Amino acid sequence: MTTIKFDDYLKEQLKDPEFKKGFEAESAKLESAVALMKAREAAGLTQQELAAKASVPQSTVARIERGDNTSFDTLSKLAFALGKKLEVNFN
Identify the pLDDT of residue 66. 94
What percentage of the chain carries pLDDT values higher than 70?
Answer: 100
Over residues 10-18, the mean pLDDT reads 94
In the CATH scheme, what is the homologous superfamily, with its name and number, of domain 6-81?
A: lambda repressor-like DNA-binding domains (1.10.260.40)
d(CA 35, CA 38) in angstroms, rounded, equals: 5
| Residue 16 binned pLDDT confidence (cut-offs 50, 70, 90) | very high
pLDDT at 58: 98
Kindly list the domain boundaries of the chain, sorted by start residue.
6-81
- pLDDT-derived band at 26, boundaries 50, 70, 90: confident
Alpha helices, H only, the chain: 6-13, 17-42, 47-54, 58-65, 72-81
Q: How far is CA 13 from the centre of its chain?
A: 22
**What is the C-alpha separation between 12 and 9, in angstroms, rounded?**
5
